[in-house]
Amino acid sequence: MTDQEQIETLRKELRAHNHNYYVLDTPTISDYEFDHMLKQLQELEQNHPEFYDPTSPTLRVGGAVTKNFETMVHDHRMYSLDNSYSKEDLEDWEKRIERVLGDVEVAFTCELKYDGASISLTYENGQLARAVTRGDGTQGDNVTTNIKTIKSVPLRLKGDFPSKFDIRGEIVLPFEGFEQMNKERIANGEEPYMNPRNTASGSLKLQDSALVAQRPLDCLLYGIVGPNTGIESQWQMLDKARGWGFKVPTVAKLCKTTQEVMAFIDYWDIHRHDLPYETDGVVIKVNSLQQQDELGFTSKSPRWAMAYKFKSEQVSTVLNEITYQVGRTGAITPVANLEPVLLAGTTVKRASLHNADQIAKLDIREGDTVFVEKGGEIIPKIIKVDLAKRPVGSEAANYIDQCPECETELTRTEGDAKHYCTNYYGCPPQITGRIQHYISRKAMDIEGMGSETIELLFKEGLITNYADLYTLTKEQVVPLERMAEKSAENLVNGVAASVQIPFERVMFALGIRFVGETVAKKLAKAYKNIDALMAASEEELVAVDEIGERIARSVVEFSRNETNRETIDRLKGYGVQFSLSEEQLENQTDTLKGLTVVVSGVFETVSRDELKKLIENNGGKVGSSISSKTAYLVAGDKMGPSKRTKAEGLGVPIITEQEFLAML
For residues 394 and 625, the model is more confident at 394
596-663 CATH fold: Rossmann fold (3.40.50)
Q: What is the pLDDT of residue 228?
A: 83
Evaluate whether 3-61 and 596-663 have a shared fold: no
pLDDT band at 376 (very low <50, low <70, confident <90, very high): low
Sign of CA dihedral 342, 344, 350, 354: negative
Q: What's the rounded mean pLDDT across residues 170-183?
A: 92
- Global pTM value: 0.77
CA dihedral (493, 496, 501, 503) in degrees, to 10, reads 160
CATH number of this structure's domain 83-253+275-303: 3.30.470.30
CA pair distance 570, 328, nearest whole angstrom: 21
Among 16-25, 104-113, 469-478, the least confident range: 16-25
User: Could you say which DSSP state residue 456 is in?
Assistant: H
What average pLDDT does the chain have? 90
603 has a pLDDT exceeding 90:
no
In which order are the strands placed within the sheet that holds 218-225? 127-133, 117-124, 164-172, 218-225
Partners of residue 341 on adjacent β-strands: 348
Q: What is the pLDDT of residue 593?
A: 82
Q: What is the pLDDT of residue 648?
A: 86
Q: What's the rounded mean pLDDT across residues 591-602?
A: 86
Query: Could you tell me if 256 and 107 are in contact, meaning their C-beta atoms sit under 8 angstroms apart?
Result: yes
Query: Could you tell me if 327 and 333 are in contact, meaning their C-beta atoms sit under 8 angstroms apart?
Result: yes
pLDDT band at 63 (very low <50, low <70, confident <90, very high): low
Kindly list the catalytic residues: 113
Residues 6+ apart with CB under 8 A from 381: 351, 352, 372, 373, 374, 375
Distance of CA 310 to the CA centre of its chain: 20
Q: What is the pLDDT of residue 375?
A: 62
Q: What is the pLDDT of residue 504?
A: 94
Q: What is the pLDDT of residue 378?
A: 62
Domain residue ranges of the chain, discontinuous segments joined by +: 3-61, 83-253+275-303, 314-391+402-411, 428-500, 503-586, 596-663
Q: What's the rounded mean pLDDT across residues 185-203?
A: 86
Summarize pLDDT for 16-52 with one digit per residue, the tens.
887 777 767 677 887 778 877 888 888 888 888 888 8
C-alpha distances out from residue 56 to 31, 37, 62, 244, 373, Å: 18, 13, 12, 17, 46
CATH number of this structure's domain 314-391+402-411: 2.40.50.140
Strand duo 654-655 + 630-635: pairing = parallel
For residues 281 and 416, the model is more confident at 281
Q: What's the rounded mean pLDDT across residues 192-205?
A: 88
Does the domain at 503-586 match CATH 1.10.8.100? Answer given as: no
- Out of 3.10.450.50, 3.40.50.300, 3.40.190.10, 1.10.287.610, select the CATH number for domain 3-61: 1.10.287.610
Residue burial 635-647, b: 16+ Cβ < 10 Å; e: rest: bbeebbeebbebb
Query: Could you tell me if 472 and 466 are in contact, meaning their C-beta atoms sit under 8 angstroms apart?
Result: no
Residue burial 620-631, b: 16+ Cβ < 10 Å; e: rest: bbebbebeeebe
Residue burial 554-575, b: 16+ Cβ < 10 Å; e: rest: bbbebbeeeebeebbebbeeee
Q: What's the rounded mean pLDDT across residues 221-230?
A: 92
Summarize pLDDT for 532-542 with one digit per residue, the tens.
999 999 999 99
For residues 344 and 228, the model is more confident at 228
CA pair distance 306, 282, nearest whole angstrom: 8
481 has a pLDDT exceeding 60:
yes
For residues 240 and 486, the model is more confident at 240
CA pair distance 346, 201, nearest whole angstrom: 14
Q: What is the pLDDT of residue 620?
A: 85
CA dihedral (353, 357, 363, 367) in degrees, to 10, reads 30
428-500 CATH fold: DNA polymerase; domain 1 (1.10.150)
Burial class (CB in 10 A: 0-12, 13-18, 19+), 297: middle
Summarize pLDDT for 517-534 with one digit per residue, the tens.
889 998 998 899 999 999
CA pair distance 593, 614, nearest whole angstrom: 12
